[in-house]
Structure 1
C-alpha cells in the first residue's frame, strides 16, 4: 500500500490512549489467525477417538489452500483499492469500519459447522471452501488497511516507531491470551465457545482504532501508476522478493509447528488439550524474555 503519497495534516503526536487503542487493532488479526492455525484441523478432522470426522484431513488442506489463495489474490487488490479510496472518514478507516463485523461473523461460523443441514462430506467441503475464501478475503480487507494506517496517523519517525512498539506489545499479549485460554476453552466448552469468545475479542480489538484515531492523509497530485505497473515494480524489486520469500517460509514453518501441536499433545503425549497451555506458556515466556 502507498503510504507516502499525500501528506499529513495538522501536527501533533497521538496521545497514549490513542496509541494503546491503535495497538489493540493488531490483536484482532492475531486472535483469529493463531486460533485458526491451532485448532481448525481438530475441529474438522480430529484424530481417531477425539470426535467425528467432518471432512478428510486432505480435503481440509485443500480448503485451507483455497482460503490462502484468496488472501494472496486480495492483498494487492485491497491495497490498491485502499490507496485510492477517498471518503470523509479517510481511506483506511472505512475498511475497518465496514469489514470488521463481517470478518468476525464468518470467523465464528467456521467453528459451528452445520452438520445437521449439510450431511455429505462433499457438501461440507464446498461450504468450508466458500467460508474460508470469504474469511481470508475479509481478513485482508481489514488488516491491510489497518497496517497501512500507521504512517498516516503518525507525525514523524519517532511516532511511527512508538506505534510499532505498541503493535508488538499487543501482538505478544494476544498470543499469550490465545496460548493460555484457547486450550482450556476448547477442552471445557468446545469449538463453538472457542470461536465465539475469540470472534468477540477480535471485534473489540479491530474497532478500537476506528473510534480512537483520525487519519491525517490528504490526497496528493502525484501520478497514479496503476495496479499492474505497481505490481511489476514490486515483484522486480530484488530485496523485496528476498524478504517476501523468507517471510513465506518463516510463516509456513511456524504454522506447521503450531498446527501440529494440538495433535502431538493428545495423540503422542496422551494429555488433554488443556496441557497445551503449559507448553505454549513456557514458549511464550521465553519469547517475552528475548523480546525484552
Structure 2
C-alpha cells in the first residue's frame, strides 16, 4: 500500500481510538503520533512480521480485584465524540492517591477541547455491569505535545487500591526487541450477541522499537477500540507507557499493518514523565 493511501487510513482509524460506531472509528482530535510517520511505520511493520501473531494475546480477565490490575478502570466521558450525554469511553489507571492517567483523546469533547471534569467518571475495576468503585474527576490536565491526560479525582482512590508505579526511565529505555509487555483495558469485543466494551481484557504485547523522536513505544499488540489509555506494564506491574493507537480497531481490518497488529503508545519518559509526576496529586 502506498504511503498516501496508508496515511489516509491511519488518520481515519488511528487518530482517535476510544470508540466505534457502525464499524467505523470516529475522529475527535488531531494528535501527532511519531510512530505513524516514515520510517517508523515501515520499520515497525518489518519487525512485527518477525513475530508470530499467536505470540500476542487478548484474553478475558475477571479477577483484577485480586491483582494490582485492580487499579485499572473504565473511563466514561459524558461529553465526548459521541455528543453530550452519551458514553464516549476509554481506559485509565491509578498512579497516586488522587491521580488517574489516560489518553487525552479519551477525555476530549468532539471539538478537541477537554470535557468538563463533571462529565468524566472513572469506574475502577469494572466488570461488565459490576461497578465496585466510582470516582469523579475534579480537574483535568493535558500533557503538552502529548496524547496524555492527568485526571484528579475528588475521592482518595488509594483507600481502595494500590496505585501502579512507573518503571524507571532506565528500565523503559532498555526495552529490547521482542520484550514482553502486558496490559489490562476495556477494548471493543463481540460477546456472542452484541458489541461490548465494559469487560476487562488482559493483553500480552511485544516491544518493537521506540519511535525516532523517542516519545512512543511501538508494539505488536491486539489493540482494539476502547483500550486507549490502558497501561503498558512489565511482569511486576510497573508502567512503561500508555497504549494509544493501532490499525486494527475491530479485529477485521485487511491492511498489512492491521494484519500484523502494529500498534503503539505514549512512553512515560523525558518531558512527559516529568510533567505527569509534577502534576500528580
Please give the range of the TM-score, normalised by the shorter of the 2 chains. under 0.3
* Higher helix residue share: 1
| Structure with larger Rg | 1
Q: Which has the higher contact order (CA 8 A, sep 6+)?
A: 1
* Higher strand residue share: 2
Structure 1 length-normalised TM: 0.21
